[in-house]
């Protein structure tokens, strides 16, 4: 049975190839640093799972709006392209459906990392408490996680180029005389939007370029019962998240362990906290994780 254009678009992996033209494959990065608090560290080690939050909630919503702005710019450019006049209806569909198809964005979850191991701007987020960063060995973690991943894109020019290339590649799959309604097929516009909503979480405002962020972006499958959506209460509201288990079912001294080090951020009792983390890791029966202290002095 022949696949429909919508199915072909979903199966096509040109979007991954296009993204990696700008982000790289991540093979050159040995360690990815996840900045969090002590509660986050304990939660990850106790559960042996990585938490991914919904990309379009709360503080991340400004990034989502930034991505939609770039999408609008690209679609206006494509509308004026005479070579795409026969695909104009699909471009119009992306404009109208792209801004209300919440079901597509609600299933997208991300985990954020930093390429830099001791970054002041990241530690400042934990100025009211104790921050840590967890140094994940990128190769075993990224090999296991079945999700898109790459460096954040801070250049507006590159963001627009990525979206335009992906949309053009998808439009080429759709036959000129194709009518999905009369054929009883799924709308290919929705399939294109599904691709776009997986790309937008990689786009960040250029003013945050110092963060050198690296992201894992995962689309939750409706049939995937292993990764049920959970919710947590925050001061600003409720955030949804999922948990992806690591490859190793239990922590041990194997070289496949995903965590290589933990760094304690600038804090008044930094040495004591570092020793407490060492003791916690030891009590869990884990070896091979180095505990270090940030070299950035505590600001008073």
What number is the average pLDDT over the span 16-29?
Answer: 87
Note down the domain range covering 115. 5-293
In which band, very low, low, confident or very high, does the pLDDT at 27 lie, cut at 50, 70 and 90?
confident
299, part of any domain: no
- pTM for this one? 0.88
221, part of any domain: yes
What number is the average pLDDT over the span 208-213?
Answer: 90
Please report where in the chains the tokens 């022949």 appear, as a residue: 2
Rounded Cα gap, residues 236 and 215, in angstroms: 23
| Total domains, the chain | 1
Q: What pLDDT does 90 receive?
A: 92
CB-based contact 153:22 (threshold 8 Å): yes
Q: What pLDDT does 263 receive?
A: 96
Q: What separation, in Å, do the N-terminal and C-terminal C-alpha atoms of the chain show?
A: 68
Q: Which of 30, 14, 118, 104 minimizes the C-alpha distance to 67?
A: 104
CA 190 to chain centre: 21
CB-based contact 147:227 (threshold 8 Å): no
Question: Which of 144-148, 161-165, 196-200, 235-239 has the lowest average pLDDT?
Answer: 235-239
Over the stretch 240-297, which tens digit does the pLDDT of each residue have?
888 888 765 554 444 446 889 999 999 888 999 999 999 999 998 888 899 999 999 8
142, part of any domain: yes
Q: What pLDDT does 236 receive?
A: 67
What number is the average pLDDT over the span 94-101?
Answer: 72
Question: Mean pLDDT across the chain, nearest whole number?
Answer: 85
300, part of any domain: no
214, part of any domain: yes
298, part of any domain: no
What number is the average pLDDT over the span 126-137?
Answer: 84
23, part of any domain: yes
181, part of any domain: yes
Per 3-state DSSP, the chain is made up of helix, strand and coil in percentages (nearest 5) of: 45, 20, 30
């Amino acid at each position: 049975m022949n696949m429909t254009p919508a199915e072909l678009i979903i199966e096509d992996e040109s979007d991954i190839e296009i993204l990696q033209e700008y982000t790289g494959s991540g093979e050159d990065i040995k360690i990815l640093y996840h900045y969090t608090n002590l509660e986050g560290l304990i939660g990850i080690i106790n559960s042996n799972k990585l938490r991914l939050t919904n990309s379009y909630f709360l503080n991340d919503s400004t990034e989502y709006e930034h991505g939609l702005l770039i999408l609008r710019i690209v679609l206006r450019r494509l509308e004026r392209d005479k070579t795409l006049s026969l695909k104009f209806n699909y471009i119009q569909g992306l404009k109208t459906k792209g801004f209300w198809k919440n079901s597509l964005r609600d299933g997208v979850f991300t985990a954020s990392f930093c390429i830099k191991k001791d970054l002041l701007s990241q530690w400042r987020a934990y100025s009211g408490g104790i921050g840590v960063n967890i140094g994940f060995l990128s190769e075993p973690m990224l090999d296991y996680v079945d999700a898109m991943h790459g460096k954040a894109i801070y250049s507006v020019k590159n963001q627009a180029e990525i979206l335009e290339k992906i949309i053009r590649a998808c439009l080429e799959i759709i036959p000129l005389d194709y009518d999905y309604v009369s054929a009883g097929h799924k709308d290919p516009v929705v399939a294109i939007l599904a691709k776009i909503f997986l790309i937008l979480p990689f786009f960040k405002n250029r003013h945050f370029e110092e963060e050198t962020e690296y992201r894992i972006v995962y689309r939750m499958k409706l049939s995937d019962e292993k990764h049920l959506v959970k919710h947590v209460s925050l001061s600003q509201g409720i955030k949804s998240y999922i948990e992806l288990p690591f490859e190793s079912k239990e922590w041990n001294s194997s070289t496949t362990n995903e965590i290589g080090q933990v760094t304690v951020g600038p804090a008044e009792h930094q040495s004591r906290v570092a020793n407490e983390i060492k003791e916690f890791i030891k009590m869990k029966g884990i070896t091979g994780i180095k505990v270090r202290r940030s070299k950035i002095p505590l600001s008073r």
